[in-house]
Amino acid sequence: MQNKSSSKMSVIFATLKMALATFSSRILGLVREQVIAATFGASGVTDAFTVAYRVPNMLRDLFAEGAFSSAFVPIFTEVQVRNFLEAKRLFWSAVITLGLITGFMSVMIALFADQVVLLVTNDQFVADLQRYEITVSLVRILSPFLVMISLAALFMGALNTLKVFFIPSLAPALFNVCMILCVWLLPEKLEAMGMQPIFALAFGVISGGVAQMAIQIPLLISKKINFQFDDSETFFHWDGIKTILNRLGIGTIGVAATQINVLVTTILATGTVIGAVSWMNYAFRLFQFPVGVLSVSIAGSNLVHFSELWKGNKKKEAVEILSSSYLFALFSIIPIFCLLYVFSTEITTMIFQRGHFSAKDTLMVSDVLKAYLVGLPFYGFYKIFSPLFFTLDKPHIPVTISVVCISLNIAFCVALVGEMGFIILPFGTSLSIILNCTLQAIFLKKLLNLPLSFFFNLRMMKFLFTGLLVLGFSVWLKLNFAAKLSGFWNLVGYLTMFSFAVVSLYLVCLYLFGEKQQVNSWLRRK
Protein backbone atom coordinates (compact mmCIF):
# COMPACT_ATOMS: atom_id res chain seq x y z
CA MET A 1 0.00 0.00 0.00
CA GLN A 2 2.87 2.33 0.82
CA ASN A 3 4.49 1.68 -2.57
CA LYS A 4 1.24 2.49 -4.35
CA SER A 5 0.90 5.72 -2.38
CA SER A 6 4.52 6.56 -3.12
CA SER A 7 3.98 6.03 -6.86
CA LYS A 8 0.94 8.29 -6.86
CA MET A 9 2.85 10.91 -4.89
CA SER A 10 5.66 10.73 -7.45
CA VAL A 11 3.23 11.43 -10.28
CA ILE A 12 1.54 14.32 -8.49
CA PHE A 13 4.83 15.79 -7.28
CA ALA A 14 6.42 15.54 -10.73
CA THR A 15 3.27 17.01 -12.25
CA LEU A 16 3.34 19.99 -9.91
CA LYS A 17 7.02 20.66 -10.51
CA MET A 18 6.35 20.66 -14.24
CA ALA A 19 3.22 22.76 -13.72
CA LEU A 20 5.12 25.36 -11.69
CA ALA A 21 7.75 25.72 -14.40
CA THR A 22 5.12 25.66 -17.14
CA PHE A 23 3.06 28.24 -15.25
CA SER A 24 6.03 30.62 -15.31
CA SER A 25 6.39 30.00 -19.03
CA ARG A 26 2.68 30.51 -19.68
CA ILE A 27 2.66 33.78 -17.74
CA LEU A 28 5.49 35.00 -19.93
CA GLY A 29 3.54 33.63 -22.90
CA LEU A 30 0.60 35.84 -22.00
CA VAL A 31 2.94 38.81 -21.65
CA ARG A 32 4.30 37.94 -25.08
CA GLU A 33 0.78 37.91 -26.54
CA GLN A 34 0.01 41.20 -24.79
CA VAL A 35 3.04 42.82 -26.38
CA ILE A 36 2.16 41.41 -29.81
CA ALA A 37 -1.48 42.49 -29.51
CA ALA A 38 -0.55 46.01 -28.42
CA THR A 39 2.09 46.38 -31.15
CA PHE A 40 0.32 44.78 -34.11
CA GLY A 41 -3.33 44.26 -33.04
CA ALA A 42 -5.48 41.87 -35.09
CA SER A 43 -4.43 43.14 -38.50
CA GLY A 44 -3.61 41.63 -41.88
CA VAL A 45 0.10 41.38 -41.06
CA THR A 46 -0.70 39.67 -37.76
CA ASP A 47 -2.78 37.17 -39.71
CA ALA A 48 0.23 36.68 -42.00
CA PHE A 49 2.53 35.84 -39.09
CA THR A 50 -0.07 33.55 -37.51
CA VAL A 51 -0.46 31.58 -40.74
CA ALA A 52 3.32 31.39 -41.29
CA TYR A 53 4.07 30.36 -37.71
CA ARG A 54 1.42 27.68 -37.79
CA VAL A 55 3.31 25.73 -40.46
CA PRO A 56 6.43 24.79 -38.41
CA ASN A 57 4.37 24.88 -35.23
CA MET A 58 2.03 22.16 -36.47
CA LEU A 59 4.94 20.02 -37.62
CA ARG A 60 6.58 20.65 -34.25
CA ASP A 61 3.60 19.09 -32.53
CA LEU A 62 3.83 16.11 -34.86
CA PHE A 63 7.52 15.45 -34.25
CA ALA A 64 8.31 17.18 -30.97
CA GLU A 65 5.31 16.98 -28.64
CA GLY A 66 3.39 14.43 -30.67
CA ALA A 67 4.13 11.15 -32.36
CA PHE A 68 7.94 11.09 -32.21
CA SER A 69 8.10 12.07 -28.54
CA SER A 70 5.29 9.67 -27.61
CA ALA A 71 7.05 6.84 -29.44
CA PHE A 72 10.48 7.70 -28.02
CA VAL A 73 9.67 7.97 -24.28
CA PRO A 74 8.33 4.40 -23.70
CA ILE A 75 11.21 2.83 -25.68
CA PHE A 76 13.84 5.00 -24.00
CA THR A 77 12.31 4.15 -20.62
CA GLU A 78 12.44 0.42 -21.35
CA VAL A 79 16.03 0.53 -22.61
CA GLN A 80 17.20 2.82 -19.79
CA VAL A 81 15.94 0.37 -17.15
CA ARG A 82 17.85 -2.42 -18.86
CA ASN A 83 21.13 -0.71 -19.79
CA PHE A 84 22.08 2.96 -19.41
CA LEU A 85 24.80 2.91 -22.09
CA GLU A 86 22.36 1.40 -24.54
CA ALA A 87 19.83 4.09 -23.63
CA LYS A 88 22.43 6.79 -24.25
CA ARG A 89 23.10 5.36 -27.71
CA LEU A 90 19.38 5.27 -28.41
CA PHE A 91 19.05 8.90 -27.36
CA TRP A 92 21.80 10.17 -29.68
CA SER A 93 20.54 7.94 -32.48
CA ALA A 94 17.13 9.60 -32.02
CA VAL A 95 18.75 13.06 -32.03
CA ILE A 96 20.47 12.34 -35.35
CA THR A 97 17.35 10.78 -36.88
CA LEU A 98 15.03 13.54 -35.75
CA GLY A 99 17.53 16.21 -36.82
CA LEU A 100 17.79 14.73 -40.31
CA ILE A 101 14.02 14.36 -40.74
CA THR A 102 13.13 17.83 -39.48
CA GLY A 103 16.14 19.36 -41.24
CA PHE A 104 14.99 17.95 -44.56
CA MET A 105 11.44 19.16 -43.96
CA SER A 106 12.68 22.64 -43.00
CA VAL A 107 14.66 22.89 -46.25
CA MET A 108 11.62 21.79 -48.27
CA ILE A 109 9.39 24.31 -46.48
CA ALA A 110 11.85 27.11 -47.28
CA LEU A 111 12.22 26.07 -50.93
CA PHE A 112 8.50 25.69 -51.53
CA ALA A 113 7.23 28.45 -49.23
CA ASP A 114 4.97 29.86 -51.98
CA GLN A 115 3.20 26.54 -52.41
CA VAL A 116 3.00 26.01 -48.64
CA VAL A 117 1.21 29.33 -48.18
CA LEU A 118 -1.21 28.50 -51.00
CA LEU A 119 -1.87 25.16 -49.31
CA VAL A 120 -2.74 26.58 -45.88
CA THR A 121 -4.77 29.60 -47.05
CA ASN A 122 -7.44 30.29 -49.65
CA ASP A 123 -8.03 32.62 -52.60
CA GLN A 124 -9.30 35.53 -50.50
CA PHE A 125 -6.11 35.54 -48.40
CA VAL A 126 -3.83 35.28 -51.43
CA ALA A 127 -5.73 38.08 -53.24
CA ASP A 128 -3.96 40.58 -50.97
CA LEU A 129 -0.59 40.37 -52.74
CA GLN A 130 1.38 42.26 -50.08
CA ARG A 131 0.06 40.08 -47.27
CA TYR A 132 0.78 36.97 -49.35
CA GLU A 133 4.40 37.99 -49.99
CA ILE A 134 4.94 38.83 -46.31
CA THR A 135 3.57 35.41 -45.35
CA VAL A 136 5.90 33.64 -47.80
CA SER A 137 8.93 35.50 -46.41
CA LEU A 138 7.90 34.68 -42.85
CA VAL A 139 7.54 30.98 -43.69
CA ARG A 140 11.11 30.94 -45.04
CA ILE A 141 12.52 32.68 -41.97
CA LEU A 142 10.63 30.39 -39.59
CA SER A 143 11.46 27.09 -41.31
CA PRO A 144 14.56 26.26 -39.15
CA PHE A 145 12.42 26.55 -36.01
CA LEU A 146 11.12 23.03 -36.63
CA VAL A 147 14.57 21.52 -36.07
CA MET A 148 15.34 23.51 -32.93
CA ILE A 149 12.05 22.95 -31.14
CA SER A 150 11.85 19.26 -32.09
CA LEU A 151 15.27 18.58 -30.59
CA ALA A 152 14.36 20.64 -27.53
CA ALA A 153 11.27 18.46 -26.97
CA LEU A 154 13.35 15.28 -27.42
CA PHE A 155 15.80 16.55 -24.81
CA MET A 156 12.88 17.23 -22.48
CA GLY A 157 11.46 13.71 -22.99
CA ALA A 158 14.80 12.11 -22.11
CA LEU A 159 15.29 14.31 -19.04
CA ASN A 160 11.73 13.62 -17.83
CA THR A 161 12.41 9.89 -18.12
CA LEU A 162 15.44 10.43 -15.89
CA LYS A 163 13.12 12.23 -13.42
CA VAL A 164 14.37 15.73 -14.29
CA PHE A 165 11.22 17.84 -14.68
CA PHE A 166 11.63 21.44 -13.55
CA ILE A 167 14.27 23.03 -15.82
CA PRO A 168 13.07 21.31 -19.04
CA SER A 169 9.56 22.57 -18.33
CA LEU A 170 10.99 26.03 -17.66
CA ALA A 171 12.86 26.10 -21.00
CA PRO A 172 9.88 27.51 -22.97
CA ALA A 173 10.07 30.58 -20.71
CA LEU A 174 13.30 31.51 -22.48
CA PHE A 175 11.45 31.29 -25.78
CA ASN A 176 8.89 33.80 -24.54
CA VAL A 177 11.59 36.13 -23.19
CA CYS A 178 13.31 36.15 -26.60
CA MET A 179 9.99 36.88 -28.34
CA ILE A 180 9.18 39.75 -25.96
CA LEU A 181 12.59 41.34 -26.36
CA CYS A 182 12.44 41.12 -30.15
CA VAL A 183 8.97 42.71 -30.30
CA TRP A 184 10.11 45.51 -27.99
CA LEU A 185 13.45 46.21 -29.64
CA LEU A 186 13.28 45.35 -33.34
CA PRO A 187 10.15 46.78 -35.08
CA GLU A 188 11.40 50.36 -35.36
CA LYS A 189 14.87 49.23 -36.41
CA LEU A 190 13.46 46.92 -39.06
CA GLU A 191 11.18 49.65 -40.38
CA ALA A 192 14.16 52.03 -40.60
CA MET A 193 15.91 49.37 -42.70
CA GLY A 194 12.94 49.16 -45.07
CA MET A 195 11.72 45.82 -43.69
CA GLN A 196 8.30 44.88 -42.36
CA PRO A 197 8.17 45.31 -38.53
CA ILE A 198 6.27 42.01 -38.28
CA PHE A 199 9.55 40.23 -39.09
CA ALA A 200 10.55 40.97 -35.48
CA LEU A 201 8.23 38.16 -34.45
CA ALA A 202 9.97 35.70 -36.75
CA PHE A 203 13.41 36.63 -35.44
CA GLY A 204 12.07 36.20 -31.91
CA VAL A 205 10.83 32.69 -32.73
CA ILE A 206 14.22 31.61 -34.10
CA SER A 207 16.24 33.04 -31.19
CA GLY A 208 13.75 31.54 -28.74
CA GLY A 209 14.05 28.10 -30.34
CA VAL A 210 17.84 28.18 -29.97
CA ALA A 211 17.58 29.22 -26.30
CA GLN A 212 14.97 26.56 -25.49
CA MET A 213 17.23 23.85 -26.90
CA ALA A 214 20.52 25.14 -25.48
CA ILE A 215 19.41 25.44 -21.83
CA GLN A 216 18.81 21.67 -21.61
CA ILE A 217 22.21 20.57 -22.92
CA PRO A 218 24.06 21.09 -19.57
CA LEU A 219 21.41 18.95 -17.85
CA LEU A 220 21.98 16.13 -20.34
CA ILE A 221 25.71 16.33 -19.71
CA SER A 222 25.16 16.29 -15.94
CA LYS A 223 23.15 13.07 -16.38
CA LYS A 224 26.07 11.63 -18.39
CA ILE A 225 24.10 11.60 -21.64
CA ASN A 226 27.02 13.08 -23.51
CA PHE A 227 28.34 12.28 -26.96
CA GLN A 228 31.10 9.93 -25.77
CA PHE A 229 31.14 6.19 -26.33
CA ASP A 230 33.65 3.44 -25.63
CA ASP A 231 32.76 1.39 -28.69
CA SER A 232 32.02 3.53 -31.74
CA GLU A 233 31.16 0.50 -33.88
CA THR A 234 27.93 -0.10 -31.96
CA PHE A 235 27.05 3.57 -31.61
CA PHE A 236 23.85 3.71 -33.66
CA HIS A 237 20.88 1.97 -32.04
CA TRP A 238 19.23 0.63 -35.19
CA ASP A 239 16.61 -1.55 -33.48
CA GLY A 240 15.34 1.24 -31.26
CA ILE A 241 15.20 3.74 -34.14
CA LYS A 242 13.36 1.26 -36.35
CA THR A 243 10.78 0.76 -33.62
CA ILE A 244 10.37 4.51 -33.15
CA LEU A 245 10.03 5.13 -36.89
CA ASN A 246 7.50 2.32 -37.26
CA ARG A 247 5.40 3.84 -34.52
CA LEU A 248 5.98 7.33 -35.87
CA GLY A 249 4.73 6.41 -39.30
CA ILE A 250 1.40 5.16 -38.03
CA GLY A 251 1.08 7.51 -35.08
CA THR A 252 1.75 10.91 -36.64
CA ILE A 253 -1.87 11.70 -37.40
CA GLY A 254 -3.18 10.07 -34.25
CA VAL A 255 -1.32 12.14 -31.68
CA ALA A 256 -1.52 15.35 -33.74
CA ALA A 257 -5.30 15.40 -34.26
CA THR A 258 -5.67 18.70 -32.45
CA GLN A 259 -3.08 20.47 -34.60
CA ILE A 260 -4.52 19.11 -37.84
CA ASN A 261 -7.90 20.45 -36.78
CA VAL A 262 -6.26 23.82 -36.09
CA LEU A 263 -4.75 23.81 -39.58
CA VAL A 264 -8.10 23.06 -41.19
CA THR A 265 -9.78 25.86 -39.28
CA THR A 266 -6.95 28.23 -40.25
CA ILE A 267 -7.52 27.55 -43.94
CA LEU A 268 -11.25 28.16 -43.57
CA ALA A 269 -10.73 31.23 -41.37
CA THR A 270 -8.59 32.96 -44.00
CA GLY A 271 -11.67 33.01 -46.20
CA THR A 272 -13.94 34.81 -43.70
CA VAL A 273 -12.95 38.27 -42.40
CA ILE A 274 -9.66 40.05 -41.81
CA GLY A 275 -8.62 39.47 -38.23
CA ALA A 276 -10.36 36.09 -37.86
CA VAL A 277 -7.09 34.14 -37.86
CA SER A 278 -5.63 36.46 -35.23
CA TRP A 279 -8.76 36.38 -33.06
CA MET A 280 -8.67 32.59 -33.08
CA ASN A 281 -4.96 32.62 -32.31
CA TYR A 282 -5.31 34.98 -29.33
CA ALA A 283 -8.24 32.95 -27.98
CA PHE A 284 -6.35 29.70 -28.43
CA ARG A 285 -3.41 31.17 -26.49
CA LEU A 286 -5.73 31.93 -23.56
CA PHE A 287 -7.26 28.48 -23.88
CA GLN A 288 -3.84 26.83 -23.93
CA PHE A 289 -2.90 28.39 -20.60
CA PRO A 290 -4.71 25.81 -18.44
CA VAL A 291 -4.03 23.08 -21.01
CA GLY A 292 -0.32 23.85 -20.94
CA VAL A 293 0.06 24.39 -17.22
CA LEU A 294 -2.05 21.49 -15.99
CA SER A 295 -2.98 19.02 -18.72
CA VAL A 296 0.41 18.82 -20.45
CA SER A 297 2.21 18.61 -17.10
CA ILE A 298 -0.08 15.86 -15.83
CA ALA A 299 0.16 13.98 -19.14
CA GLY A 300 3.96 14.20 -19.27
CA SER A 301 4.37 12.90 -15.74
CA ASN A 302 1.74 10.20 -16.28
CA LEU A 303 3.42 8.91 -19.46
CA VAL A 304 6.82 8.54 -17.78
CA HIS A 305 5.49 6.75 -14.68
CA PHE A 306 2.88 4.67 -16.53
CA SER A 307 5.45 3.50 -19.10
CA GLU A 308 7.97 2.61 -16.41
CA LEU A 309 5.44 0.53 -14.46
CA TRP A 310 3.87 -1.06 -17.53
CA LYS A 311 7.22 -2.07 -19.03
CA GLY A 312 8.19 -3.39 -15.60
CA ASN A 313 5.11 -5.67 -15.72
CA LYS A 314 3.46 -3.78 -12.85
CA LYS A 315 0.23 -3.36 -14.73
CA LYS A 316 -2.08 -2.92 -11.76
CA GLU A 317 0.08 -0.09 -10.42
CA ALA A 318 0.20 1.48 -13.88
CA VAL A 319 -3.61 1.56 -14.07
CA GLU A 320 -3.74 3.14 -10.61
CA ILE A 321 -1.34 5.84 -11.80
CA LEU A 322 -3.59 6.46 -14.80
CA SER A 323 -6.64 6.71 -12.54
CA SER A 324 -4.89 9.21 -10.28
CA SER A 325 -3.82 11.35 -13.25
CA TYR A 326 -7.31 11.23 -14.79
CA LEU A 327 -9.03 12.37 -11.60
CA PHE A 328 -6.36 14.96 -10.81
CA ALA A 329 -6.83 16.45 -14.29
CA LEU A 330 -10.58 16.75 -13.76
CA PHE A 331 -10.17 18.11 -10.22
CA SER A 332 -7.74 20.79 -11.40
CA ILE A 333 -9.53 21.97 -14.53
CA ILE A 334 -13.09 22.51 -13.21
CA PRO A 335 -12.66 25.82 -11.33
CA ILE A 336 -10.43 27.15 -14.13
CA PHE A 337 -13.11 26.33 -16.69
CA CYS A 338 -15.74 28.20 -14.65
CA LEU A 339 -13.62 31.33 -14.32
CA LEU A 340 -12.47 31.41 -17.95
CA TYR A 341 -15.95 30.79 -19.37
CA VAL A 342 -17.91 33.24 -17.24
CA PHE A 343 -15.30 36.02 -17.25
CA SER A 344 -13.96 35.49 -20.79
CA THR A 345 -14.65 39.09 -21.86
CA GLU A 346 -13.13 40.60 -18.73
CA ILE A 347 -10.04 38.38 -18.94
CA THR A 348 -9.54 39.24 -22.61
CA THR A 349 -9.93 42.94 -21.81
CA MET A 350 -7.41 42.76 -18.98
CA ILE A 351 -4.79 40.87 -20.98
CA PHE A 352 -5.09 42.23 -24.52
CA GLN A 353 -7.14 45.42 -24.87
CA ARG A 354 -4.54 48.15 -25.32
CA GLY A 355 -2.60 49.75 -28.14
CA HIS A 356 -3.83 48.46 -31.50
CA PHE A 357 -6.10 45.85 -29.88
CA SER A 358 -9.65 47.29 -29.90
CA ALA A 359 -12.86 46.64 -27.97
CA LYS A 360 -14.22 44.83 -31.04
CA ASP A 361 -11.19 42.54 -30.99
CA THR A 362 -11.91 41.81 -27.32
CA LEU A 363 -15.50 40.71 -28.03
CA MET A 364 -14.44 38.52 -30.94
CA VAL A 365 -11.67 36.82 -28.94
CA SER A 366 -14.04 36.30 -26.00
CA ASP A 367 -16.61 34.53 -28.21
CA VAL A 368 -13.95 32.30 -29.76
CA LEU A 369 -12.54 31.46 -26.33
CA LYS A 370 -15.94 30.25 -25.12
CA ALA A 371 -16.22 27.98 -28.15
CA TYR A 372 -12.82 26.46 -27.40
CA LEU A 373 -13.66 26.06 -23.70
CA VAL A 374 -16.50 23.68 -24.52
CA GLY A 375 -13.87 20.99 -25.01
CA LEU A 376 -11.45 22.02 -22.24
CA PRO A 377 -11.77 18.99 -19.91
CA PHE A 378 -11.50 16.64 -22.88
CA TYR A 379 -8.28 18.27 -24.05
CA GLY A 380 -6.86 17.35 -20.66
CA PHE A 381 -8.01 13.73 -20.96
CA TYR A 382 -6.79 13.56 -24.57
CA LYS A 383 -3.30 14.64 -23.53
CA ILE A 384 -3.26 11.81 -20.98
CA PHE A 385 -4.89 9.06 -23.06
CA SER A 386 -3.34 9.47 -26.49
CA PRO A 387 0.36 8.73 -25.72
CA LEU A 388 -0.60 5.59 -23.77
CA PHE A 389 -1.37 3.70 -26.98
CA PHE A 390 2.33 3.84 -27.84
CA THR A 391 3.23 2.23 -24.53
CA LEU A 392 0.56 -0.41 -25.18
CA ASP A 393 1.97 -1.03 -28.69
CA LYS A 394 -1.35 -0.04 -30.27
CA PRO A 395 -0.52 3.18 -32.16
CA HIS A 396 -2.93 2.32 -34.99
CA ILE A 397 -5.92 2.94 -32.70
CA PRO A 398 -5.50 6.73 -32.27
CA VAL A 399 -4.75 6.96 -36.01
CA THR A 400 -8.09 5.43 -36.94
CA ILE A 401 -9.91 7.53 -34.36
CA SER A 402 -8.23 10.71 -35.58
CA VAL A 403 -9.05 10.07 -39.23
CA VAL A 404 -12.72 9.70 -38.29
CA CYS A 405 -12.75 12.81 -36.07
CA ILE A 406 -10.81 14.96 -38.50
CA SER A 407 -13.08 13.98 -41.37
CA LEU A 408 -16.19 14.80 -39.37
CA ASN A 409 -14.73 18.11 -38.23
CA ILE A 410 -13.84 19.15 -41.77
CA ALA A 411 -17.32 18.26 -42.99
CA PHE A 412 -18.93 20.10 -40.07
CA CYS A 413 -16.88 23.26 -40.53
CA VAL A 414 -17.11 23.41 -44.32
CA ALA A 415 -20.88 22.94 -44.16
CA LEU A 416 -21.50 25.70 -41.61
CA VAL A 417 -18.71 28.28 -41.93
CA GLY A 418 -20.45 30.08 -44.81
CA GLU A 419 -23.66 30.47 -42.82
CA MET A 420 -22.34 30.99 -39.28
CA GLY A 421 -18.93 32.55 -39.93
CA PHE A 422 -15.58 31.82 -38.31
CA ILE A 423 -17.09 31.23 -34.85
CA ILE A 424 -18.16 27.74 -35.93
CA LEU A 425 -14.51 26.75 -36.45
CA PRO A 426 -13.36 26.66 -32.79
CA PHE A 427 -16.65 25.05 -31.83
CA GLY A 428 -16.04 22.31 -34.40
CA THR A 429 -12.56 21.78 -32.96
CA SER A 430 -14.06 21.29 -29.50
CA LEU A 431 -16.65 18.80 -30.75
CA SER A 432 -13.91 16.90 -32.57
CA ILE A 433 -11.70 16.55 -29.48
CA ILE A 434 -14.70 15.45 -27.38
CA LEU A 435 -15.44 12.64 -29.85
CA ASN A 436 -11.75 11.75 -30.16
CA CYS A 437 -11.26 11.52 -26.41
CA THR A 438 -14.46 9.50 -25.92
CA LEU A 439 -13.45 6.91 -28.51
CA GLN A 440 -9.96 6.63 -27.03
CA ALA A 441 -11.48 6.03 -23.58
CA ILE A 442 -13.62 3.22 -25.02
CA PHE A 443 -10.56 1.48 -26.47
CA LEU A 444 -8.50 2.00 -23.30
CA LYS A 445 -11.34 0.43 -21.32
CA LYS A 446 -11.02 -2.69 -23.45
CA LEU A 447 -7.21 -2.82 -23.63
CA LEU A 448 -6.65 -2.26 -19.92
CA ASN A 449 -9.73 -4.25 -18.86
CA LEU A 450 -11.10 -1.25 -17.01
CA PRO A 451 -14.54 -1.21 -15.40
CA LEU A 452 -16.97 1.51 -16.45
CA SER A 453 -16.58 2.96 -12.96
CA PHE A 454 -12.98 3.89 -13.86
CA PHE A 455 -14.37 6.73 -16.03
CA PHE A 456 -17.73 7.33 -14.33
CA ASN A 457 -17.58 6.97 -10.57
CA LEU A 458 -18.93 8.68 -7.48
CA ARG A 459 -15.84 10.84 -7.05
CA MET A 460 -16.13 12.11 -10.62
CA MET A 461 -19.81 12.88 -10.12
CA LYS A 462 -18.94 14.89 -6.99
CA PHE A 463 -16.42 16.92 -9.00
CA LEU A 464 -18.94 17.60 -11.77
CA PHE A 465 -21.81 18.52 -9.43
CA THR A 466 -19.49 20.82 -7.47
CA GLY A 467 -18.45 22.34 -10.79
CA LEU A 468 -22.07 23.20 -11.60
CA LEU A 469 -22.44 24.93 -8.22
CA VAL A 470 -19.24 26.88 -8.80
CA LEU A 471 -20.34 27.83 -12.32
CA GLY A 472 -23.61 29.21 -10.95
CA PHE A 473 -21.71 31.13 -8.28
CA SER A 474 -19.41 32.61 -10.93
CA VAL A 475 -22.40 33.83 -12.96
CA TRP A 476 -23.85 35.39 -9.81
CA LEU A 477 -20.59 37.22 -9.14
CA LYS A 478 -20.51 38.62 -12.66
CA LEU A 479 -24.13 39.80 -12.56
CA ASN A 480 -23.73 41.52 -9.22
CA PHE A 481 -20.36 43.17 -9.86
CA ALA A 482 -20.69 43.92 -13.59
CA ALA A 483 -20.62 47.71 -13.05
CA LYS A 484 -17.25 47.50 -11.28
CA LEU A 485 -15.53 45.32 -13.88
CA SER A 486 -13.86 48.09 -15.84
CA GLY A 487 -10.37 49.54 -15.85
CA PHE A 488 -7.21 47.46 -15.71
CA TRP A 489 -6.52 47.56 -11.97
CA ASN A 490 -10.18 47.08 -11.11
CA LEU A 491 -10.22 43.99 -13.30
CA VAL A 492 -7.04 42.67 -11.73
CA GLY A 493 -8.38 43.20 -8.20
CA TYR A 494 -11.87 41.83 -8.75
CA LEU A 495 -10.78 38.85 -10.85
CA THR A 496 -8.21 37.95 -8.20
CA MET A 497 -10.89 38.07 -5.50
CA PHE A 498 -13.33 36.12 -7.67
CA SER A 499 -10.70 33.45 -8.33
CA PHE A 500 -10.05 33.07 -4.62
CA ALA A 501 -13.79 32.90 -3.88
CA VAL A 502 -14.50 30.36 -6.63
CA VAL A 503 -11.63 28.04 -5.66
CA SER A 504 -12.55 28.32 -1.97
CA LEU A 505 -16.17 27.43 -2.66
CA TYR A 506 -15.03 24.52 -4.84
CA LEU A 507 -12.83 23.09 -2.10
CA VAL A 508 -15.43 23.65 0.65
CA CYS A 509 -18.08 21.82 -1.38
CA LEU A 510 -15.75 18.89 -1.99
CA TYR A 511 -15.01 18.77 1.74
CA LEU A 512 -18.75 18.68 2.48
CA PHE A 513 -19.24 15.92 -0.12
CA GLY A 514 -16.75 13.70 1.71
CA GLU A 515 -13.61 14.32 -0.35
CA LYS A 516 -11.62 15.86 2.48
CA GLN A 517 -8.90 13.21 2.51
CA GLN A 518 -8.31 13.28 -1.25
CA VAL A 519 -8.37 17.08 -1.46
CA ASN A 520 -5.97 17.41 1.46
CA SER A 521 -3.65 14.91 -0.17
CA TRP A 522 -3.50 16.88 -3.44
CA LEU A 523 -3.19 20.23 -1.68
CA ARG A 524 -0.30 18.98 0.48
CA ARG A 525 1.54 17.92 -2.65
CA LYS A 526 0.95 21.35 -4.14
119-129, pLDDT tens digit by residue?
888 777 888 88
| Predicted confidence (pLDDT) at residue 258 exceeds the cutoff of 70 | no
Looking at residue 2, what is its pLDDT?
47
Using an 8 Å Cβ cutoff, are 502 and 338 in contact?
yes
229-249, pLDDT tens digit by residue?
555 556 677 777 887 777 666
Q: What is the mean pLDDT of residues 302-326?
A: 81
352-367, pLDDT tens digit by residue?
888 888 889 999 999 9
The amino acid at residue 292 is G
Looking at residue 308, what is its pLDDT?
77
Q: What is the mean pLDDT of residues 419-432?
A: 89
Q: What is the rounded average pLDDT for all residues in the chain?
A: 83
57-86, pLDDT tens digit by residue?
777 766 655 567 767 877 888 888 788 888
Q: Which long-range contacts (CB under 8 A, 24 or more apart) does 57-62 make?
A: 57/145, 57/259, 58/256, 58/259, 58/260, 58/262, 58/263, 59/102, 59/105, 59/146, 60/145, 60/146, 60/149, 60/150, 60/153, 61/256, 61/258, 61/259, 62/252, 62/255, 62/256, 62/259
User: What is the C-alpha separation between 334 and 340, in angstroms, rounded?
Assistant: 10
The amino acid at residue 468 is L
Using a pLDDT cut of 90, give the percent of the chain over it: 25
428-487, pLDDT tens digit by residue?
989 988 999 999 999 999 988 888 888 888 888 888 999 999 999 999 999 998 878 888
364-395, pLDDT tens digit by residue?
999 999 999 999 889 888 888 888 887 788 87
Q: What is the mean pLDDT of residues 275-282?
A: 86
Looking at residue 1, what is its pLDDT?
47
CA angle 491, 347, 380 (to 5 degrees): 140
Number of CB atoms found within 10 A of residue 306's CB: 26
The domain ranges of the chain are: 2-456
Looking at residue 78, what is its pLDDT?
80
| Predicted confidence (pLDDT) at residue 114 exceeds the cutoff of 50 | yes
User: What is the C-alpha separation between 138 and 196, in angstroms, rounded?
Assistant: 10
| Predicted confidence (pLDDT) at residue 295 exceeds the cutoff of 70 | no
User: E-strand spans in 209-284?
Assistant: none
User: What is the C-alpha separation between 248 and 390, in angstroms, rounded?
Assistant: 9
In which band, very low, low, confident or very high, does the pLDDT at 256 lie, cut at 50, 70 and 90? low
Using an 8 Å Cβ cutoff, are 464 and 488 in contact?
no
